[in-house]
Chain A
C-alpha cells in the first residue's frame, strides 16, 4: 500500500515549556452550562409536582365536599365547553382557511391577514363586550324592545353556555385558521388537482384528500385552542360559568382553602396532560409530513352568488370577532375618557408596563441561556430538560399560581424561622405577595413563548459560521459580540414582544399572586366586569388591544402570500 512520503526525519521544533503553556487540549465545556436547563426544568416541575401531590394524596374530607357540591357541575361544564369550542373553531377555522388559501373571491387578500386580528383581543374582553351588548339591558335588546314591544322572550340569553362557547369560538378560531391555512397554501391546490386527475370533483377532493392531508396541522391548532379554553379564567368569570379555573380562584380567595384549590388544580392538570399527550402524538405525524413549497397551482375563482356568500361569511366573522368589540369599546371609552383617564389609570398602565417589561427581560434571558446550553451540549439530558422547561405553557395560570404559592409559602416560613433563630428578626412574608413571585410564575408559564423564536434564530447560526469566525482569528467573547448577538437580534425582539403582550393580557396569575392593592390593566378589567361596569372596563381594554396588535402585525408579515 503506497502511503505519502515517509516522515522519519525528526527535525521539528518543540519549543520550551512556555510554549506548552499556550497549548491546551480542547477541554469539555464547563459543567455549569449543563446545570442551567436542569435548573429551569426543576423550577417548572415544582408547581406541577406540588399540585400532583394533592392529586395522589388527597385530603379526603375536602375531596368529599367537592364531589358533593361542585365537581359534577364543573366536569359537565368543562366537557360541554371543550366540545362546543372544539367543534366551532374547527368548522370556522378550516372553512375560512380553505377559502382564503385556495379560492379567489372579492376581498380575499384583505381577509387573509385581517382574519388574524381577533388574536389581538383577549377573550375576556370579547366576553364582556358581548354581554354588555346583548344583555337584557344592553343596547341591542333595548332597541329591539322599542321596535317590537316589551315581550322579547325569544331572544337568546347571552349569559349562557351557548354564549360562552360562541365568544370563545370567535376568540380562538385564529389558531386553527393560521395553521390550517399554512397547510392548505402548500398542499391544498396540489391535492385538489391530484384528486381531479383521479376522477373526484372539487368537493370530494376537499373531503377525501386535502382535508385529511392537513389534519395534523388542524389538530395542532385545535389543541392550542383547547388549551387556551381550559386555561381561560377571565371569560368564564365574566359569564359566571363555573369551570375549574373559577372554582380554583373561588377556593383561593373566598374560601381561603388551599387544599381545595390544590385538589381542583390537580384534576385540571390531569385533563391538560391528557390533551398534551394527544398533541404529542399528532405533532409526531407532522414531522413526517413536511410542508414543502411546491409549484403553485392557480386559485379556484369563485363567481356570482357563491363569491359574495363567502365574502359575507368572512366579513361576518371579522365583524363579530373584531370590529364590533372594537367599535363598542371605543364608544364606551370615549364616554368615560374624561372621567377615567386619571392618575389611577396611569398607575394601572405603569404597573402593566413594568411587570410585562420585567417578565419579558427575565424570560428572554432564561430562554437565551437555555438555547446556549443546548448548543453547547446537544445531548438527551439537556434536550429533555429544555422540553420540560417549556411545558409550563400548557399549565393553566390558576394552576400555576397555586402551584407556585405553596412552595413559596413554605420557603417564606423556612426563611422566617431561620431569621428568627439566627438573627432574632421577624421577617414576615419575604417572597409571597411580591413582584418576584409574580415574575417566577410568569417565567414558568411563558418560557415556551420566548424559547421558540430564539431557538429558531439560533438554528440559523450554523456550526460552520462559528468555525469561520474562529478561522478568522476570533474567540469566545468576540464571536458572541460580533456574530451571535447581531444574528439573534430579530429572534430576541420577537420573543420579548410576545412575552410582553402575553403578560399584559394575563389575568389569573396576576390576580392570585400580586401584592395587595397592586393592580394592572387586566386586574382593573376583572374588577370592573365583576360588577357589570362595562364602560369603566373599556379604557384598559382598548389599551390592551393596542398592545396586542404588535405581535399580530408580525404574524401578518409572515402570512403575506
Chain B
C-alpha cells in the first residue's frame, strides 16, 4: 500500500466552536490533493493539524501508516518530515535566497547541501537570484523560493496554504501549472488548501470540497463538476441553475425543456428510495454547457444579460416557462439583450436533488 497521508475522523474545535468535524481522507504517494472551500470552512485548520501546529481533539492523523496525531499525542512538527509553504511565504529576511533554500539542510555536509540548493534553484528557475535577499524579489519569485525551500529536504509530504492568494490573477494561472510540473517532477506528495476553484483544478489530482468542517465530496475535478454529490458541491463548483423537475422513473426526469435520461446520482445507493419513485419532485442542475445555441430549435429564450469572456459569451436567458438559466455560447454569436435565441438541451450528466434539501 502506498498511502502516504490518512486522516481518520479528525475533530478540532476552538472553544465551543467545532472547526473540523469528523473528517477523513486518504492520499497516495505521488498524488496532489486539495482542500477547497470558502473562508472559514476549516481547511487551513486541517492543514495545520496535519503539520502538527495544532493538536486534534478526536481521531487520528497518520503519516506513512504511523500515528502522528491523536487525542493524547502529537509528534512535534520538526519531527514529521513535512514541508510547508505559507500564504505569506515566511521567507527569512536576513538570509539570501540560497541560504533560505538550504536552511533545512543543516544536517548535510556542505558539498551535498550546496549541490541540492543548486538543483532546487534550477528546478524553480531562479539560479540568477541565488545571492539576492527576499525583499529584492517579486511576489512570484518569493513564492518559488518558498516552494524550493520546502522541497529541498525531500519531505514526505508537502503542505501548501493558499500559495497563490497574494499574487496577481494573471500570474496565478501560469504559476499553478508550473507548480504542478515542479511537484510532479520531484514526485512529491502534496496537499493544497485554497478557496479558488481554478487553482484547485489546475494543480490537484483529487479535490475535497469542504463546508462547515466536513468534506462534502472527495473526487476528481471532473466528477466534482459533472457528478456533484450534494447541493453544496453543485452550488460551489462551477456555475449553474436549478430547474424544477419531476421524476418519471429512476432513470428519467422531466423538466420544462424536455426529458433527461441518465444515471442520476443521489443519496440512494440501492436504486430505490423516495426520491427515485415516479412523481417525486426534484431540482435538476443545469450548467451553462448543458444548454447550447441552436438556431434551428423551436425552443426560444430571451437574453436577459450577457457577459463577454473572450472565447465565449455567458448568456443569462429567460426560459419560456419563466425560469432563468445560463448558457455558454461561442462568442461570435453576438446577440443583443432582449433578443430571443434558439436553444437546445445537451445534458450528458443528469444531476438531481430532492426539492426539500
Contact = CB atoms under 8 A, between A and B. Distances in A.
Contacts of B87: 464
B163 interface: no
Contacts of A473: 78, 104, 106-107, 153
B213 interface: no
A231 to B, nearest CB: 38
Given A462-B90, A465-B92, A473-B153, A3 B66 contact: no
Nearest to B25: A4
A72 B346 CA distance: 97
A1 B78 contact: no
A471 B66 contact: no
B229 A2 contact: yes
Contacts of A460: 93
Contacts of A23: 68, 73-75
Nearest to A9: B1
A468 B216 contact: no
Contacts of B229: 1-2
Interface string A359-371: 0000000000000
A483 interface: yes
Interface size class of B (residues with CB under 8 A): 35 or more
Contact of A464 (B83, B86, B159): B86
Contacts of A465: 90, 92
A25 B84 contact: no
B113 to A, nearest CB: 13
Nearest to A7: B8
Nearest to A474: B78
A469 interface: yes
Interface stretch (A12-20, A436-444, A513-521, A540-548): A12-20
B86 A467 contact: yes
A456 interface: no
Contacts of B25: 4-5
B93 A468 contact: no
A26 interface: yes
Nearest to B48: A467
A434 interface: no
B10 to A, nearest CB: 11
A11 B94 CA distance: 46
A148 B94 CA distance: 66
Contact of A20 (B68, B73, B79, B104): B73
Contacts of B53: 467, 470
A22 B68 CA distance: 11
Contact of B78 (A4, A25, A470, A486): A470
A46 interface: no
B230 A2 contact: yes
A24 interface: yes
A193 to B, nearest CB: 30
Contacts of A462: 88, 90
Interface in B127-169: 149-150, 153, 155, 159
A460 B26 CA distance: 37
Dominant SS at the A interface? loop
B103 interface: yes
Contacts of A5: 24-26, 218
Nearest to B232: A1
Given A1-B216, A2-B230, A470 B77 contact: yes
Contact of A467 (B67, B84, B94): B84
Contacts of A318: none
Nearest to A464: B90
Given A4-B25, A13-B66, A473-B104, A26 B214 contact: no
B84 A13 contact: no
A4 B26 contact: yes
A97 B250 CA distance: 80
A11 B60 CA distance: 13
A71 interface: no
A284 interface: no
Contacts of B78: 470-475
B179 to A, nearest CB: 18
7 contacts: A4-B23, A5-B26, A5-B218, A24-B76, A468-B90, A469-B103, A472-B150
Interface of B: 6-9, 22-26, 51, 53, 55, 60, 62, 65-68, 72-79, 82-84, 86-88, 90-94, 103-104, 106-107, 149-150, 153, 155, 159, 208, 214-218, 229-230
Q: Which 7 A-B pairs give the minimum distances between C-beta atoms? A: A472-B104, A464-B90, A2-B229, A4-B25, A23-B73, A468-B90, A4-B218
Interface of A: 1-7, 11-15, 20, 22-26, 460, 462, 464-465, 467-475, 482-483, 486-487
Given A23-B73, A26-B55, A460-B93, 12 more contacts: A1-B230, A4-B26, A24-B73, A25-B72, A26-B76, A462-B88, A464-B86, A464-B87, A467-B53, A467-B86, A470-B53, A486-B94
